[in-house]
Structure 1
Amino acid sequence: MSGTLDTNELVTALKAAAESTRLRILVLLAASELNVKDLTQILGQSQPRVSRHLKLLAEAGLIERFREGSWVYFHVSDRSEGGRLVRRLLTTVDARDPVLRRDGERADALKRDRESVAQTYFKEHAADWDRIRALYVSDAAVEAAIASALAGPAFKLFVDLGTGTGRMLEMLADRYERGLGFDVNQSMLAYARSNLDRSGLARAEVRHGDIYNLALPDGVADGIVVHQVLHYLSEPAHAIREAVRILAPGGRLLIVDFAPHDVESLRDEHAHERLGFEAEHVSQWLTEAGLNGIDIRTLAPEKSDGRQQLTVTLWLAHKPASVTSAPQPHSLERIGS
């Protein structure tokens, strides 16, 4: 589907949406990406029944599916007229409907449970997180690529989202005048603060923060990195939109994460929510968030030492410079308070 829906396509789309369970599914998938198991838990219905509903919605062009390892996720299509029709229809739905509210509460609880698993893992592995990460990818090669991607004049305010051990703030210390790292896990923050203190890096600080709702003004950071974070998140596209919100016109956003892989053990053993990302998928999120000039670089795994390593992808994107009005200046002292 492209441009507009013809009569048959419109009738098919409306018929697909005109059923109570399928409408509930559309409301959920318009808010987040979910798999069949998620939907069966939220809706309280059998897997075969949910799968049949998903098949019908996909055939009508209202939702899309994408595979990550052995799991398949679904979301309301952002690229088809059917998906855009769904979003228009959902604006007429009463969010106070008790069934939809209950579905939303269950979906939120599911996300909290997943995030809790990840946070428990981080808490247990804060001291050896860098060592664990090195089991899967050559840090030296990745850090060299990051340094190259962010070369140029020093950033006035550089933000590291999901800072973890604070490694990015340490490694890129000569690239910014002021650095801020955000993480939701207090154990990781304590470890990061220890690292920064040991390095004597007074220009950087870390603080507790929600990657989906950052306590920073719009357009205040001219450099942002999201390093090996998205695969832990239930809503990576949401995190990207929030990063773009705080990115200044002309600023740069660098995302570093795994390419798609099938190492299922990472879900259970290391709390990975996603088994990597297709380059085009992340690029689409960046474009939809308003960035351009997207440059993609892939670092192939090293196989010479016998370790299992994963391919890493870097996405560097730019926020267009404002041509109508410049953002109001923000005091870095106030931001850091």
Structure 2
Amino acid sequence: MAKILVTGGLGYIGSHTVVELVAAGYEPVIVDDLSNSNIKILDQLSKIIGFKPAFHQFDLCDMEKLEKFVAAEPGIEGIIHFAAFKAVGESVKNPLKYYHTNIASLVNLLKVYKDKPADFVFSSSCTVYGQPDILPVTEDAPVKPAQSPYGNTKQIAEEILKDAVVSGDVKKVIALRYFNPVGAHESALIGELPNGVPQNLVPFITQTAIGKREKITVFGNDYNTKDGSCIRDYIHVVDLAKAHVAALKLMANNDFKGYDVFNLGTGNGNTVLEIIAAFENTTGVKLNYEIGPRREGDVEKVWGDVTKSANVLKWTAKLGIDVMMASAWEWEKYLSQNPS
């Protein structure tokens, strides 16, 4: 079994990817500093995959600890790099936190694996497109000035990776540009578990539905969209996780060289108000929500063209909005019945 390093592997997307890696015959090795994740997810993962995966707790910005890890875990053949802060709003308020963590962790990884034959999958974002001129947005669309420090860290990281491929510091890199991951594993044992107040829509929806939050604020209803709220391309996290396995398989092919990027979405856009309605229709739970002012850093509308992912990565999203909402709700109910 190929040994794959999964940074941020106890986080939302990372934990689901660990499950899919094991299902595909890989051996995951998790590194996570638990700054935005919970150690109990390690036990939850163990219940799903049948064993406790290797886990190392430290901050990738700590070069000394990273070098010790590399010595302790030889034979890493692939790296899937999730570890990063990811909240648009927080990044606007605290940009230096985002630049330090998101960029330094990547550079450190590239340094320690410089002379080792590890393929690299990078967790990028559709935020690199800013507000696209043409929708759906393709991978060839120009990368516009970022509308948040978070988005800028993804742009900078992609540039670093491209330069590292040109220099030969890393041989094969795929950057996966996520749209909006939602939902949870069908077991309801893992899902999105934000520390503190959620920064993303769906966990705020489920926490409001369960009674943890009083109400949802919809940030703006005066955008140029069908109902005035922002449009995003929502994708089930399990579909997203499977794409990382597809990326590793593509890079294992000797025909793959250098650097490439792929959109990961459904190819369809939904407004915030449509997602609220979908949750209510799927679960039968009515939500308390209000319209608030626009949020700084938010893009009006974006959804992806996923033709390249289908043709080259051999991957397409399978799970629809109803499954996304139902699985997110089952996860929230599990959390309420199993408090930490």
TM bucket, shorter chain = 0.3 to 0.5
Q: Which structure has more helix as a fraction of its residues?
A: 1
Q: TM-score, normalised by structure 2?
A: 0.37
